[in-house]
Amino acid sequence: MLKHLSSSCFQGRLRILHTRFPDGAANCGLAKRHLLRFIGSLRSSTGEATFFRQTALFSSESGEGDGGTDKAVYASSEADADEAKSSSAIVPTTPRPEDHLTVIAVPLPHRPLFPGFYMPVSIKDSKLLSALAENCKRSVTYAGAFLFKDEPGTDPSLVTGTEIGKNIYDFKGGQELFDRLHDIGTLAQISSIQGNEVYLLGHRRLRKTEMVDEEPLTVKVDHLKEIPYNKDDDVIKATYFEVISTLRDVLKISSVWREYAKTYSRYIGDFTYGRLADFGAALSMANKLLCQQVLEELDVHKRLKLTLELIKKEIEINKIQESIAKAIEEKISGEQRRYLLNEQLKAIKKELGLETDDKTALSSKFRERIDPKKDRFPAHVLQVIEEELAKLQLLEASSSEFNVTRNYLDWLTALPWGDYSDENFNVHNAQKILDEDHYGLSDVKERILEFIAVGNLRGTSHGKIICLSGPPGVGKTSIGRSIARALNRKFYRFSVGGLADVAEIKGHRRTYIGAMPGKIVQCLKSVGTANPLVLIDEIDKLGRGHAGDPASALLELLDPEQNMNFLDHYLDVPIDLSKVLFVCTANVIDTIPNPLLDRMEVIAIAGYIADEKMHIARDYLEKSTREACGIKPEQVEVTDAALLELIENYCREAGVRNLQKHIEKIYRKIALLLVRKAISNEPSNAKTFEELERAEIDPSTNQSTRVGEQTDTG
Ligand code: ADP
Distance 438 CA to ligand 1 centre (A): 8
Q: Could you tell me the end-to-end alpha-carbon distance of the chain, in angstroms, rounded to an integer?
A: 81
Q: What pLDDT is attached to residue 343?
A: 84
Q: What pLDDT is attached to residue 663?
A: 92
Peptide bond before 633: cis, by omega within 30 degrees of 0? no
d(C-alpha 188, C-alpha 183), whole Å: 15
Distance 149 CA to ligand 1 centre (A): 105
Within 8 A by CB and 6+ apart from 385, the residues are 366, 370, 377, 409, 412, 413
pLDDT tens digit string along 568-589?
A: 999 899 998 888 889 999 999 9
User: In testing the pocket of ligand 1, which one of 445, 467, 474 has its CB within 8 Å of the most ligand atoms?
Assistant: 474
Q: What pLDDT is attached to residue 661?
A: 92
Q: What pLDDT is attached to residue 708?
A: 31
Residue 60 has pLDDT above 60, yes or no: no
In this structure, the residue with its CA closest to atom 24 of ligand 1 is: 438
Distance 479 CA to ligand 1 centre (A): 7
Distance 620 CA to ligand 1 centre (A): 10
Distance 619 CA to ligand 1 centre (A): 13
Residue 9 has pLDDT above 80, yes or no: no
State which ligand 1 atom lies nearest to the alpha carbon of 478. 6
Residue 328 has pLDDT above 80, yes or no: yes
Q: What phi and psi values does residue 561 have, to the nearest 5 degrees?
A: -75, -30
Are 418 and 599 contacting, i.e. CB atoms less than 8 angstroms apart?
Answer: no
Q: What pLDDT is attached to residue 167?
A: 63
d(C-alpha 465, C-alpha 319), whole Å: 82
In this structure, the residue with its CA closest to atom 17 of ligand 1 is: 475
Q: What phi and psi values does residue 221 have, to the nearest 5 degrees?
A: -135, 155
Distance 474 CA to ligand 1 centre (A): 5
Distance 594 CA to ligand 1 centre (A): 27
Single out the residue of 139, 158, 82, 146 nearest to residue 113, CA to CA: 146
Lowest mean pLDDT among 59-68, 241-250, 281-290: 59-68
Give 392-397 contacts, CB < 8 A, sequence gap 24+.
Answer: 392/359, 392/362, 392/363, 393/359, 393/363, 397/357, 397/358, 397/359
Please report, for residues 385, 616, 652, the alpha-carbon distance to residue 643 in angstroms, rounded to integers and kept in the order given.
Answer: 61, 11, 12
Q: What pLDDT is attached to residue 54?
A: 30
Residue 546 has pLDDT above 80, yes or no: no
Peptide bond before 216: cis, by omega within 30 degrees of 0? yes
Chain CA centroid to CA 480, Å = 52
Single out the residue of 251, 260, 120 nearest to residue 196, CA to CA: 120
pLDDT tens digit string along 134-155?
A: 888 877 788 999 998 877 656 5
Task: Tell me the range of 84-88, 429-433, 541-545 where mean pLDDT is highest.
Answer: 429-433
User: In testing the pocket of ligand 1, which one of 538, 647, 656 has its CB within 8 Å of the most ligand atoms?
Assistant: 656
In this structure, the residue with its CA closest to atom 19 of ligand 1 is: 475
H helix or E strand, kind and range, residue 213: strand 197-213
DSSP strands (E only) in 514-554: 533-537
Distance 638 CA to ligand 1 centre (A): 21
State which ligand 1 atom lies nearest to the alpha carbon of 441. 23
Check residue 157 and report its DSSP letter.
T
Are 562 and 513 contacting, i.e. CB atoms less than 8 angstroms apart?
Answer: no
User: In testing the pocket of ligand 1, which one of 620, 647, 712 has its CB within 8 Å of the most ligand atoms?
Assistant: 620
Distance 697 CA to ligand 1 centre (A): 23
Q: What pLDDT is attached to residue 526?
A: 93
Check residue 181 and report its DSSP letter.
B
In this structure, the residue with its CA closest to atom 22 of ligand 1 is: 438
d(C-alpha 441, C-alpha 446), whole Å: 9
Report the b/e string of 621-646 with b at 16+ CB within 10 A: bbeebbeebebeeeebebeeebbeeb
Q: How many CB atoms lie within 10 A of CB 574?
A: 15
State which ligand 1 atom lies nearest to the alpha carbon of 471. 3
Residue 650 has pLDDT above 60, yes or no: yes
Q: What pLDDT is attached to residue 308?
A: 92
Check residue 619 and report its DSSP letter.
I
3-state secondary structure (DSSP) of residue 574: strand
Single out the residue of 219, 229, 137, 228 nearest to residue 186, CA to CA: 219
Model-wide pTM > 0.75 = no
User: In testing the pocket of ligand 1, which one of 434, 444, 445, 478 has its CB within 8 Å of the most ligand atoms?
Assistant: 478
DSSP strands (E only) in 592-656: 601-604
Q: Is 667 left (phi over 0), alpha (psi -120 to 50) or beta?
A: alpha
In this structure, the residue with its CA closest to atom 6 of ligand 1 is: 475
In this structure, the residue with its CA closest to atom 5 of ligand 1 is: 475
Residue 564 has pLDDT above 90, yes or no: no
Residue 280 has pLDDT above 70, yes or no: yes
Check residue 215 and report its DSSP letter.
T
3-state secondary structure (DSSP) of residue 684: coil
* Rg of the chain, C-alpha, whole Å: 52
In this structure, the residue with its CA closest to atom 18 of ligand 1 is: 475
In this structure, the residue with its CA closest to atom 15 of ligand 1 is: 475
Instruction: Work out the percent of the chain whose per-residue pLDDT is above 70.
Output: 76
Distance 189 CA to ligand 1 centre (A): 116
Distance 616 CA to ligand 1 centre (A): 9
Q: What pLDDT is attached to residue 206?
A: 92
Distance 35 CA to ligand 1 centre (A): 116
d(C-alpha 430, C-alpha 425), whole Å: 8
Single out the residue of 429, 524, 553, 530 nearest to residue 483, CA to CA: 429
Q: What pLDDT is attached to residue 711?
A: 32
CA angle, corner 417, sides to 414 and 421, nearest 5?
A: 105
Residue 186 has pLDDT above 70, yes or no: yes
In this structure, the residue with its CA closest to atom 1 of ligand 1 is: 473
Are 486 and 424 contacting, i.e. CB atoms less than 8 angstroms apart?
Answer: yes
Q: What pLDDT is attached to residue 134?
A: 86
pLDDT tens digit string along 154-185?
A: 655 554 444 444 466 677 777 888 888 899 99
Please report, for residues 20, 95, 135, 449, 533, the alpha-carbon distance to residue 431 in angstroms, rounded to integers and kept in the order given.
Answer: 107, 130, 122, 7, 17
Roughly what angle, to the nearest 10 degrees, separates helices 300-352 and 288-296? Answer: 150
Q: What phi and psi values does residue 453 have, to the nearest 5 degrees?
A: -65, -45
H helix or E strand, kind and range, residue 174: helix 174-180
Q: What pLDDT is attached to residue 85?
A: 39
User: In testing the pocket of ligand 1, which one of 624, 657, 712 has its CB within 8 Å of the most ligand atoms?
Assistant: 657
Residue 77 CB-density burial (10 A; 0-12 exposed, 13-18 middle, 19+ buried): exposed
Check residue 498 and report its DSSP letter.
T
State which ligand 1 atom lies nearest to the alpha carbon of 621. 26
Are 288 and 112 contacting, i.e. CB atoms less than 8 angstroms apart?
Answer: yes
**Choice between 16 and 356, residue whose per-residue pLDDT is larger:** 356
Q: What pLDDT is attached to residue 144?
A: 92
Single out the residue of 237, 239, 257, 235 nearest to residue 248, CA to CA: 257
Q: What pLDDT is attached to residue 401?
A: 87
Chain CA centroid to CA 327, Å = 21
**Choice between 34 and 464, residue whose per-residue pLDDT is larger:** 464
d(C-alpha 703, C-alpha 692), whole Å: 15
pLDDT tens digit string along 237-268?
A: 899 889 888 888 888 877 777 877 777 666 55
pLDDT tens digit string along 590-643?
A: 988 888 888 888 988 888 888 889 999 988 998 899 889 888 888 888 888 888
Q: What pLDDT is attached to residue 424?
A: 81
d(C-alpha 297, C-alpha 318), whole Å: 26
Q: What pLDDT is attached to residue 184?
A: 93
Concatenated DSSP letters of 351-395 = HHT---S-HHHHHHHHHHHHGGGGGGS-HHHHHHHHHHHHHHHHS
**Choice between 345 and 687, residue whose per-residue pLDDT is larger:** 345
d(C-alpha 596, C-alpha 614), whole Å: 36
Are 530 and 488 contacting, i.e. CB atoms less than 8 angstroms apart?
Answer: no
Residue 536 has pLDDT above 90, yes or no: yes
d(C-alpha 66, C-alpha 681), whole Å: 135
In this structure, the residue with its CA closest to atom 26 of ligand 1 is: 438
Single-letter amino acid, residue 467: C
Tell me what the mean pLDDT of segment 291-298 comes to. Answer: 90
Lowest mean pLDDT among 58-62, 102-106, 183-187, 483-487: 58-62
Average pLDDT, the chain: 77
Are 573 and 453 contacting, i.e. CB atoms less than 8 angstroms apart?
Answer: no
Q: What pLDDT is attached to residue 150?
A: 77
Distance 483 CA to ligand 1 centre (A): 13
Residue 353 — very low, low, confident or very high, per pLDDT cuts 50/70/90?
low
Residue 524 has pLDDT above 90, yes or no: yes
Distance 461 CA to ligand 1 centre (A): 26
The partner residues of 197 in beta bridges, in order of sequence, read 122, 194
Distance 521 CA to ligand 1 centre (A): 28
Binding pocket residue ranges, ligand 1, CB within 6 Å = 438-441, 472-478, 585, 616, 620, 656-657, 660
